[in-house]
Each structure stands twice: as structure tokens, then as C-alpha cells.
Amino acid sequence: MIDIALLRAEPELVRENIRKKFQEQKLPLVDEALALDGKRRALQQEGDALRAERNALSKQIGVFLREKKAAEAEAAKQKVNADAGRLSEIEAETAQVADRLKAVMMRIPNIISSETPIGKDDSENVERQRFLEPRVPDFEVPYHLDILERLGGADIDSARRTSGQGFYYLTGDVARLHSAVLAYARDFMIGKGFTYCIPPFMIRSDVVSGVMSFEEMDGMMYKIEGEDLYLIGTSEHSMIGRFMNTTLDEKQLPLTLTSYSPCFRKEKGAHGIEERGVYRIHQFEKQEMIVICKPEESESWYEKMWNYTVELFVSMQIPVRTLECCSGDLADLKYRSVDVEAWSPRQKKYFEVGSCSNLTDAQARRLGIRYKGKEGSRYAHTLNNTVVAPPRMLIAFLENHLRADGGVDIPEVLRPYMGGKCEILPRS
């Protein structure tokens, strides 16, 4: 949510930002927000004037009574009662206008970075850098589900019977590899100075509306029937929600946290759920990183965070590249975002395995996350980034470490988490 002061001072800047995000249908929200803001301030002024008049009349009534001016005292009392009635109406109307204004403001997208390329969708994202040389082996790389099944590591059919489309069983050494990657990512981030957390996997609706836009919520979140609870789509949701309506001491910042959680997503929309495979699914696990910092530090943390993900993948000998997300590919709360994509030897192209986002103070405004220092109280900046998200990253791992004999090499950094194993062999 942007600052209402910015909307008042530079409404055309806000409109132009909406156009850059190709959301022209939201342009009327600017005028509506300005009108509501004007009405709210007028009601507040009228209310303040009535309160001042009431206080003056109350003192005057005391004077009239001491001077035994009964008629004047009674007239003043009637005026106070009339003002009280109007004040009650104003307070009720102000609350309604404020609620509507907040709802409108929450639909206006955050101002994007000057570094963000302008484009309609993810096809116009811009490549920034490549790390490690992409490799295409001299043998055919099977589809990832075929690799998993040959290793005895996945059972999609049984999951379809127990849970429906978009679920999976991982078994044996592949399941162990899945856990090994998460454990390695956890220790990797602890080594970077981040504090490890395991958050709640369900959150209330006021947290949901604070961490994401309404459009995202509808397309992602599973609601618990009969409860004010939602399953998290990423641990960022409950990790940021932890600081809702709090004022941190400036000395506590930056907060650097890394969290593990399962993630649950509807995956509604154009992409849908795969019929075969574990790329786009309803349930997965993820190691995340979250930073809460002062505004002047957020851009430097943004660069550090995506670089940590790149470093992790390179340490597992998986080629990756980074893409700066264009304006039309940014969710409404994002100031800027970079995707990390891993190389697929089978497809001979890169695919997304993580995303790093700077939300400036947009998320903090919705959730009421402030910090207090010498300059007073200010909204903090929030950032989040995927460290690693199996089983999607397993696709990149298996394809890049697959051998011609069907075995999979385990890089040295993961061997301590695999009991010293250096390979996974196919079933005989």
C-alpha cells in the first residue's frame, strides 16, 4: 500500500505507475481514493470543530449555572446534546469512509523501481547474468518424472488416488535427497548470519490481506472451512505476519531470518496443474529468506539475497541465470523482483526455481510494521527470497547430474546430508 501523502502530492505519478503495469482498469481508483481522502479529512475537521465547541459550551454551562442563568444554561445543554448527536454520526461516517479508503488504497499497486523494465508479462523479463556454463549431454535426458520413477523415487499414481491431481509421493534416496537439499539450504543460510525459524503453517485473514493483493489471495490460498485460517502459500506469509502491528527498535534492524515450511497453493490461472510431474503442484516444501530493514538498506539487501540463492545453486553445480522481472510481471506489492532460473538440459532452456522481491514499505504499511529511531517512527522495508524449493529444484538437480547409465551424481556439498552417498542408482 502506497503512502496517501504521495497520492495527494503526485497523483499523476501514481497513474503513470498503473499504466506501466498495464492495469488501466485501476486508474479510477486514484480519483476515488482522493475523493474519499478529502471526505475523510472534511469529516475530521467538522468533528474537531464540534468537539472544541462542546468543550467551550460545557465550561459556559458551569458559568451560567453559577450566575443562575437557567435559560441560558438550558439552551447551551440542548446545543451540546445536538452536537453530540451530530458527532456520533460523523464518527460512524468517518469509520465507513476510512474503511473504504483503505480497501481502495490496498488495490493501488506499489510504485515500481526505475530499474524495472517495462513489459506486459514474463515473456518480457530481461536477463541479467548467467552462472556456470549450461551443459547438454551427448545422451537423451528423459522427462523428470521418468527419471524419478527409474530411481524408484516417485509415486504419482498413488498420490492421485489419495489426494487428487497435483500431489506426489517421494520415496527412497530421492526423498532423502529432497530433505538433504533443504537441510543444506538451512545450514547455508545460517552460515550467512540468518536466524533459522519454523513458523505457523496457517494464518488468519488479516495477515493474508496484509502480505498479498486480493488477486493473489484468490489464486493461491486454501481456506480452512469454518475457521478464520488459511494454509500458507510460502513461509514469508507467517514470517512477516509475526511482526504485524509492532514497532521495532532501530537497533534490532536488519532482521535476517530463514524459514522452513510446507507450502500449499491452488495454482489457479493460466498455468494450471501438470498432469504428469512435480513442477507445478499443490504442495511443496521450501527454505525461504526474509529481511526487515531500514529503507536506505533495502536495495543492498535485495542484491545480497538473490546472490545467496545463486551461490547455493552454483555450489551444487547447477547452472543458473537471473532475470529482472518486468513491470507487468510484478505483483502489486513489489517494487522490483528478480527470478532465478536453473538450466534444463532436457529442454535446453532455463526455468524458474526462485524469486527475490523488494516490497519497500508497501507490505509494512498494510501490516503496521514500524521501527523507531532518532528520526522518530517510520515504516520498515520488507524483502523475501526463495533459498530453494524442492521438488521443483530436484528437476534441475536430476537433469544436471544425470549420467548416461541412469545414475545421478551427488555433489560433494550434499554428501554429508546423504550419509556419505556419492550417487543414486536406478532400480535394477
Q: What is the DSSP string of 23-73?
A: -GGGTHHHHHHHHHHHHHHHHHHHHHHHHHHHHHHHHHHHHHHHTT-HHHH
> Does residue 244 have a pLDDT over 80?
yes
Q: What is the pLDDT of residue 271?
A: 57
Contacts of 146 (CB under 8 A, 6+ apart): none
Between residues 8 and 83, the one the model is more confident about: 8
d(CA 276, CA 167): 10
Q: Let me know: does 14 contact 105? Beta carbons within 8 Å.
A: no
Between residues 76 and 402, the one the model is more confident about: 402
From 51-60, 144-153, 192-201, 259-268, the region with the lowest mean pLDDT: 51-60
d(CA 113, CA 163): 42
From the options 3.90.1580.10, 3.40.50.450, 1.10.287.40, 1.10.287.3510, give the CATH code of 4-105. Answer: 1.10.287.40
Q: Let me know: does 22 contact 327? Beta carbons within 8 Å.
A: yes
Q: What is the pLDDT of residue 230?
A: 94
Could you read off the pLDDT of 128-174 as tens digits, one per residue?
Answer: 999 999 999 999 999 999 999 999 999 999 999 999 988 999 999 99
**46-51 own/partner pairs: CB under 8 Å, 24+ apart:** 46/90, 47/87, 47/90, 47/91, 47/94, 50/83, 50/86, 50/87, 50/90, 51/87
Q: Dig out the grid coordinates for 285 from the structure.
A: 516444501
d(CA 270, CA 272): 6
Q: What is the pLDDT of residue 170?
A: 94
pTM value?
0.89
Contacts of 374 (CB under 8 A, 6+ apart): 250
Confidence grade of residue 321 (pLDDT, cut at 50, 70, 90): very high
Q: What percentage of residues in the chain have a pLDDT greater than 70? A: 98
> Does residue 218 have a pLDDT over 80?
no
Asked whether the domain spanning 122-424 has the same topology as the one spanning 4-105, the reply is: no
Could you read off the pLDDT of 58-68 as tens digits, one per residue?
Answer: 777 787 778 78
d(CA 216, CA 27): 19
Spans of all domains in the chain: 4-105, 122-424
> Does residue 236 have a pLDDT over 90?
yes
Q: Let me know: does 271 contact 224? Beta carbons within 8 Å.
A: no
d(CA 96, CA 348): 55
Q: Let me know: does 267 contact 166? Beta carbons within 8 Å.
A: yes
d(CA 277, CA 293): 38
Could you read off the pLDDT of 329-386 as tens digits, one per residue?
Answer: 999 999 999 999 999 999 999 999 999 999 999 999 999 999 998 889 999 999 999 9
Q: Let me know: does 339 contact 125? Beta carbons within 8 Å.
A: yes
d(CA 282, CA 384): 21
Contacts of 166 (CB under 8 A, 6+ apart): 267, 273, 274, 280, 281, 282, 283
d(CA 229, CA 46): 40
The CATH topology of domain 122-424 is: BirA Bifunctional Protein; domain 2 (3.30.930)
d(CA 71, CA 287): 75
CB atoms within 10 A of CB 192: 16
Contacts of 203 (CB under 8 A, 6+ apart): 229, 230, 232, 237, 238, 241
Q: Could you tell me whether strands 246-249 and 423-424 are parallel, antiparallel, or unpaired per DSSP bridges?
A: unpaired
For the chain, the C-alpha Rg in angstroms (whole number) is: 28
CB atoms within 10 A of CB 124: 14
Q: What are phi and psi of 77, to 5 degrees?
A: -60, -45
Mean per-residue pLDDT, 209-221: 81
Q: Dig out the grid coordinates for 315 from the structure.
A: 555450489
